[in-house]
Amino acid sequence: MPDRTYYITTPIYYVNDVPHIGHAYTTIAADVAARFKRLAGYDTFFLTGTDEHGINVERVAQRNGVTPQAWTDRVAAEFRTLWEVLNISHDDFIRTTEPRHERVAAGLFQTLYDKGDIYLGKYEGWYCASCESFYLESELGPDKTCPVHTGRKTEWTAEESYLFRLSKYQDWWLRYVAEHPGSIEPEARRNEVTSFVRSGLKDLSVSRSTFTWGVPVPFDRRHVIYVWIDALTNYISALGYPDGERFARFWPASVHLVGKEIVRFHAVYWPIMLHAAGIAVPEQTFAHGWLTFGGQRFSKSLGIVIDPAALAREIAAEAGVDVPIAVDALRYFLLREIPFGADGDFNKVALVHRFNADLANDYGNLLNRTIPQVERHFGGAVPAPGPSRGNDGLLRETAASVAEELDALITRLDFSRALGEIWRLLGVANKYLDEEAPWRSIKTDPERAGTALYNTLEAVRIATVLLSPWLPTATTRVWGQLGIGSPLSSQRLDDARRWGGLAPGTRVRPGPPIFPRIEKAKDGARSPGAVKVAADVAQRSKTEEPEGTRVDNSISIDEFRKLDIRVAEVLEAARVPNTDKLIEAKIDLGGEVRTIITGLVPQYQPEELVGKRIIVLANLEPRRVRGVDSHGMLLAAEWEGQVALLTVEKNAPKGARIT
């Protein structure tokens, strides 16, 4: 067994709705880290799963006329299916409704109670059912709305509750983080939670008595364990805490990978509870940024989501490839385009550009320019390299430095820079091939032509091993064309660190381009078609159907009638400061003036909008964007990165209904 272990987790995803691109982003990142650590020889364990208790799940199930268990079974299956599509290599999928988990959650609660750190009291405050969290009044948006679920009102809750003595451990936490600054990354998130703790920790409500869908408190069946305490326990229950072999082998976790909106739970509450129970704390919590679309966060509560599977199918159709290759392209794009830890805007045009420029040209075409020459001039057998000269040494040195750098970069979860390093190798290899031009030197110096082809293919071999965590399907196919007998799955990082692993005489197996260029989107009306931007009621129609019915995007005529779509005139428009795409527009809906925030730059500049009669979804739930309340949504057509606002054929009066 390797001396080094690596245990990485995603958050367990809440089953109040089907999975979306935000879930995929976190899980793909964890998958790449896990695959790379296996490649580097670490004994690796990768955990994901679903969080299935709480009042929000109970309410969703009631609205759909099913039991909470039936609802959670259905949505958990959706997550499992998506992870299969996205080629996620998790070692375990934990569900908080499983007995193995409930036993551990109840046991940890009992331990903290026995130690005197949990006591019966009363708790009151503003509570968001969507994120199952209490908030201070100073943290809330207008009309007491949740700071995470934009526009969604919190509820004042007061009830008997068991409380955890969080305040008791404030000084310990501050000392620990000061001594272990790397325990919370990136630095901005560490500063954020440190400021929160320094402002004064209050004892935490850790039970609920107003509903029953949860793990019962072991010594008081009137209460269920607060869902966040229940959920966090999954990281040890999946390992068989307290005496499981996995727990002894992998705990403490190397990294808990989470979205920044839940960093407080993972970086403050969780390590304090573990410390209080006498359990080692995780080595690191890494909180990545948000994906946005047109400057707005992907969010079910805002009705802005992407179905990753639908997006992969769309890219596959446009590129003329099968879905697993399109999935690889999506995996690559998400971790190359956006520095991990920062917020980043999703843009399909940028995805297509990365597909064509990076995957099709820099990587795929390098293979396509070499293997046919080996087939044509050397009978399909990889030629033996001759004496080294020219830029042979530079290519070898670049390969060695890139392979050496990657383990540290992945440990820091710096995926974008890691891919940049691999592309540095591919860039040197492409330039080397252009300068050596073996298609010309084959006539005058066949040995030199063979050397150039060997060196280029060896660089492709090394890049393919290094890229395998990101592109598991495509790299396997490249490996097959290289003709190497041992499977790619048997390779390790050390194999990429050694030059000369491609044996002369290996029979190449030419095949079709793995990443053919996307010349033109086949479905120009929707770009991307997997993006759904709609009123909250339309979004609910997708997910809140009775068990056994087909889940699709259809809505009834009665649901459509709930959409208040009207003509409006733009009175004023200005750029939102410190944003790339957002415009703040004042619109007249027929005597009612509203403000709407919309992401239209660069297709429209603010001055172009003034005076236009546009179409607006008027009864969309208000949301706060960059400190401004946005009341409604402009409707537009989008295709291949272009946007056109919807207008009416005749000069319809302001406020006229669209039916």
- Which DSSP string do the residues of 165-211 spell out, in sequence order? -GGGGHHHHHHHHHH-GGGEESHHHHHHHHHHHHT---PEE-EE-S-
Together in a domain, 258 and 347: no
Last residue of a domain, one of 473, 497, 521: 497
Q: Residue 546 falls within a domain, yes or no? A: no
Q: What is the pLDDT of residue 295?
A: 67
Beta bridge partners of 615: 567
Q: What is the pLDDT of residue 552?
A: 39
CA–CA distance, 401 with 399 (Å, rounded to integer):
6
Q: What is the pLDDT of residue 527?
A: 43
Q: How confident is the model at residue 525 (pLDDT cuts 50, 70, 90)?
A: very low
491: left (phi over 0), alpha (psi -120 to 50) or beta: beta
Together in a domain, 41 and 13: yes
Together in a domain, 290 and 353: no
Q: What is the pTM of this model?
A: 0.78
Q: Residue 554 falls within a domain, yes or no? A: no
Residue 523: pLDDT over 50: no
Together in a domain, 53 and 182: yes
Q: Residue 641 falls within a domain, yes or no? A: yes
| 590 compared with 163, residue with greater pLDDT | 163
Q: What is the pLDDT of residue 602?
A: 63
Q: 544-558, pLDDT tens digit by residue?
A: 323 232 233 456 666
User: For 20-29, what is the mean pLDDT?
Assistant: 95
CA–CA distance, 178 with 190 (Å, rounded to integer):
10
Together in a domain, 107 and 247: yes
Q: What is the pLDDT of residue 90?
A: 98
Q: What is the pLDDT of residue 553?
A: 43
Residue 152: pLDDT over 90: no
Identify the weakest region by mean pLDDT among 16-25, 256-265, 558-567.
558-567
Together in a domain, 154 and 181: yes
Residue 500: pLDDT over 90: yes
Q: What is the pLDDT of residue 136?
A: 63
Q: What is the pLDDT of residue 598?
A: 87
Together in a domain, 461 and 386: yes
Q: What is the pLDDT of residue 504?
A: 98
Together in a domain, 192 and 157: yes
User: For 132-161, what is the mean pLDDT?
Assistant: 70
Q: What is the pLDDT of residue 620?
A: 82
Q: Residue 539 falls within a domain, yes or no? A: no
CA–CA distance, 270 with 273 (Å, rounded to integer):
5
| 631 compared with 196, residue with greater pLDDT | 196
Q: Residue 71 falls within a domain, yes or no? A: yes
Residue 578: pLDDT over 70: no
| Helices assigned H by DSSP within 412-535 | 415-436, 438-441, 446-467, 472-482, 493-497
User: For 90-112, what is the mean pLDDT?
Assistant: 98
Residue 135: pLDDT over 70: no
CA–CA distance, 27 with 48 (Å, rounded to integer):
8
User: For 563-574, what is the mean pLDDT?
Assistant: 86
Together in a domain, 121 and 33: yes
Last residue of a domain, one of 470, 497, 524: 497
For 350, the enclosing helix (H) or strand (E) is: helix 348-354
Nearby residues of 496 by Cβ (< 8 Å), 6 or more positions away: 399, 403, 462, 465, 466
Count of structural domains, the chain = 3
Q: What is the pLDDT of residue 543?
A: 31
Q: How confident is the model at residue 389 (pLDDT cuts 50, 70, 90)?
A: very high
Nearest-CA neighbor of 30 among 17, 40, 44? Answer: 44
Together in a domain, 333 and 256: no
CA–CA distance, 52 with 49 (Å, rounded to integer):
10
Together in a domain, 477 and 602: no
Alpha carbon 291 to its chain centroid, in Å, reads 8
Q: Residue 122 falls within a domain, yes or no? A: yes
Burial class (CB in 10 A: 0-12, 13-18, 19+), 632: buried
Full domain range(s) for residue 412: 307-497
Q: What is the pLDDT of residue 44?
A: 98
Together in a domain, 271 and 400: no
The CATH number given to whatever domain includes residue 343 is 1.10.730.10
